[in-house]
């Protein structure tokens, strides 16, 4: 679901939100039990950097990290193999969330600097095998709502005409909304790096609460109040 579609502004916004909530309640529980949990932040950063490089939407980025978290939670794999798994998660997430022309190409991934330094070369056959393993691990279900899937729905209603700034009426509704958008997405992206309580909270069937927390922190930052 690309952000430019702006489903949260349409007539079906409430229905889509309810559908996401139902799917959220069925999400697998993330327990942070991976033996490589110390490497998690590095790979989350790597996926975020690659997502920005290939201009992937936030939902694809967050889904890729979520898939990696869930896979690491179930398997003990060599660190070198984690690079292949991380890239496979990125590909699956981008195929699910993005248009076809936005999905990173195999040759693009093989040209990455860390691939060369690790002497890693992906081929189509091995990549398909890894994607199949990931899909089997997730029960062939990639429709897993992350905080990024909810955030714009809540942002759309977060700033209203009658809100206050330091006790005074807002001088510019559009500017306040722009700053709320900026800060909330910033806090959302920072959350990807956290291996402690924030990430456990964000991945434990409480995505909408996590989004509201980002929204609330942004309001505190801007000294805004309903």
pLDDT recorded at residue 5: 73
pLDDT recorded at residue 203: 45
148 CB burial (10 A radius; 0-12, 13-18, 19+):
buried
Q: State whether residue 225 is helix, strand or coil.
A: strand
Rounded CA-CA distance 22/35 in Å is 31
Q: Which residues contact 123 (CB under 8 A, 6 or more apart)?
A: 106
Q: What tens-digit pLDDT sequence spans the chain (226 residues)?
A: 455 578 888 999 999 989 998 998 888 888 888 888 889 999 999 999 999 999 999 999 999 999 999 999 889 888 889 999 999 999 999 999 999 999 999 999 988 888 878 888 889 999 999 999 999 999 999 999 998 998 888 888 777 676 656 666 666 767 877 877 888 888 888 888 775 544 444 444 455 555 555 555 555 555 555 5
* Domain extent listing, the chain: 28-137, 147-225
Rounded CA-CA distance 10/146 in Å is 20
* CATH no., domain 28-137: 1.10.472.10
Nearest residue to 39 (alpha-carbon basis) of 106, 85, 107, 102? 85
Rounded CA-CA distance 63/181 in Å is 20
Q: State whether residue 169 is helix, strand or coil.
A: strand
Using a CB cutoff of 8 Å and minimum separation of 24, what contacts does 10-13 make?
13/153, 13/156
CB 115 within 8 A of CB 109: yes
Among positive and negative, which fits the CA dihedral 77, 83, 85, 86?
Answer: positive
pLDDT recorded at residue 208: 54
Rounded CA-CA distance 128/134 in Å is 10
């Amino acid at each position: 679901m690309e952000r430019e579609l702006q489903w949260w502004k349409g007539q079906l916004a409430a229905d889509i939100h309810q559908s996401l909530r139902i799917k959220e309640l069925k999400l697998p529980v993330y327990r942070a039990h991976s033996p490589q949990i110390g490497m998690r932040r590095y790979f989350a950063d790597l996926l975020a950097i690659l997502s920005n490089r290939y201009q992937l939407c936030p939902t694809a980025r967050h889904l890729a990290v979520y898939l990696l978290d869930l896979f690491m939670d179930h398997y003990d794999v060599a660190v070198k193999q984690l690079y292949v798994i991380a890239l496979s998660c990125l590909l699956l997430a981008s195929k699910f969330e993005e248009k076809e022309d936005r999905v990173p190409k195999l040759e693009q991934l093989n040209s990455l600097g860390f691939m060369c330094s690790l002497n890693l070369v992906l081929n189509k056959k091995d990549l398909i095998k890894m994607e199949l393993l990931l899909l089997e691990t997730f029960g062939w279900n990639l429709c897993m709502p992350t905080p990024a899937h909810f955030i714009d729905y809540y942002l759309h209603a977060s700033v209203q005409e009658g809100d206050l700034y330091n006790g005074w009426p807002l001088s510019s509704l559009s500017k306040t909304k722009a700053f709320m958008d900026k800060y909330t997405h910033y806090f959302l992206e920072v959350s990807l790096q956290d291996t402690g309580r924030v990430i456990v909270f964000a991945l434990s069937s409480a995505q909408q609460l996590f989004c509201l927390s980002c929204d609330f922190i942004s309001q505190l930052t801007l000294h805004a109040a309903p």
